[in-house]
Structure formats: structure tokens, C-alpha cells
Amino acid sequence: MLRELLETGAPILADAAIETRIMFETRVRMDPHIQVAALLERPRGRAALREIYATYLDVAWAHGLPIVMGTPTFRASRRYVERTRRPAAETVRRLNTEAVAFLNEIRDQGEHDPVFLAGVIGPYGDAYSPDDCLTHLDGADYHLEQVRALAEAGVDALFAPTFPSIEEAHGVAMAMATTELPYAIGFVLDHRGRMLDGTYLHDAIERIDNAVVPAPAWYAISCVHPTVARRALADLASAGGLTRLREVKANGSRLSPDELVSLDHSESDDPDVFGEAMDKLGLDFKLQILGGCCGTDSGHLAALARRLEARAK
């Protein structure tokens, strides 16, 4: 059903921040290694996650928009699980399976439809450090374990956001292509609008499209301010690759992600400023899926959703 909806070009809402809302809106502590995935193991953590996801579903319902919700599994992969001294293979499978079941439960208890679940796969290393990345072959091997766990748990799509290097982005695409699910790659960019390893966006898309079968259903930009996304999209349009990039999940602040998480409070643009900037991005560059990342909340998503609803009429 998601594939068919993508073909219509209708606007689709994506969810917004999870980690920064846990940090700044709750007293729940995240595991330093697997972060929000560990909240699934504690009643208090599950309650906090449930409340945040519910606010995003409420926004989609209020504005009559389809929504894509990502599983809280950005760091639920072997490297981070091993750092917690849990049994790796068993824990990777359990955390990813439980995350999908958790979101399915939230979806089934709500009244809104359609709601699509995207299985989220984060990079091997720090998302903001291209030096801590895998080659494409090693990346394919590493990410396959989590890809299989999410696919078997029953997600509607796979999403690999915030990848800083083309090598590992190529590798995770290879792993996701082994399933029959639609999948997307999300790049994190520097202030010039390039990947953090210096790769131009159009070169990254061309490389993966030419090397991986089936190719991603779409590409995304994630974890950057709308102004950075605009710069990158303008360059991509001039290079002729705009039709393959259909999603932006943007930060609410111009601060870097490292600066944002070092604060003791949330820092972001006013929701209406964010909503207007994102809606204009969508209109100017024909983007279909729009949502938030670090520093955003349900207020930011609602400001965007109001504009998407008006556009859909």
C-alpha cells in the first residue's frame, strides 16, 4: 500500500524527534549505547515512548494525513548491543522484534489510517563522523542482521537515516535490497549540502542506483536544518537527480546535532517558522514525505501538517 501511495504523489507526514524529546521532556534515562531501544525493556520507558508516538499519530489524525512512523531502533544493532554486554544475536533480534510489535500495538489501538511502520537502521558509527564508517561490503554484512530482524517482524518499509558516508550507505542499501520491502536511504549533510565525507548528493544517489538491485524506493535528507536541505536540493535539481529524493526530516534548530544534544534544554525554531520552511521545501522541490528530526516535537509537526492538509485539498 505504501508503494501505491508513493506513486500518487500525495503528501505524507513523517514523525518527528524521539531522542531529544526523551532527553528534554522526561526524566527517563536512555542507555548510553543502544539509547531509546533500551526503553522498550522498562515500563516507564515504554510509557514515555508511547506518549511521544501518540502525539504524532494525533497530528496525522487531526489533519487527515497518512503518516510514516519509524521504529526506535536507530542503535539496535550488534556493535551497540555488544557494548551493553548483552548476548548480541539474541538481543538484536529481540529489540527489533519488540520495537515493531510496540508500534503495531500503538497503531492498532488508534483510530487513524493509514499508518506505515518503517524499520529504522542507523549507521555503524557516529552518524556525524564519516571516519567511523564501514566499506560497502562490510556494511552490507553488518546491517543484514538488523535488516532481517525488522523485515521478519513485519514492517511496511525500511529506512536507514543519517548516513554520513557513501560507502556505508551503499552497503546498507545492499542489505535492505535483499528483502521485498520498499526501502529508503537518508543522508546527513554538511553546511555545503554535501554528505559528511564530501560526496555530492547526486553522485551518492547515482552510485547506489547503478549498483544495487532493486534500488531504493526513495532517498531522503535527515538531521539537518531546512536551510541546509534547501541548499542541497537546489544543487541536486541542477544536477538532474531531484526526482529520486522525496523526503526531508529536518532539525528544528540551526545548531549542529552535537551542539543540540549537549544542551540541557530543547533548542528549535518556532513551530510556525519550521512548518512554513518545510512546506515551502516540499512545494519548491516536489517532496512527498516531510517530518522532523532533532529538536522538533508535535507542535512543529502540527504546523507542518496544517500546511500539508491545505495542499492536499
Residues annotated within the binding site are 223, 293-294
Whole-number Å distance between alpha carbons of 230 and 298: 23
Radius of gyration of the chain (CA): 18
- In 3D, which of 129, 134, 202, 218 has the Cα closest to residue 169? 134
Q: Cβ atoms within 10 A of the Cβ of 151, count?
A: 20
Three-state DSSP class for 2? Answer: helix
Cα distance between residue 246 and residue 99, in whole Å: 25
Distance CA 6, CA 230 (A): 22
CA nearest 305: which of 67, 19, 7? 67
Cell of 289: 514525505
Known binding site for Zn(2+): residues?
Answer: 223, 293-294
Q: Please answer whether residues 121 and 158 qualify as being in contact, where contact means their C-beta atoms are separated by less than 8 angstroms.
A: yes
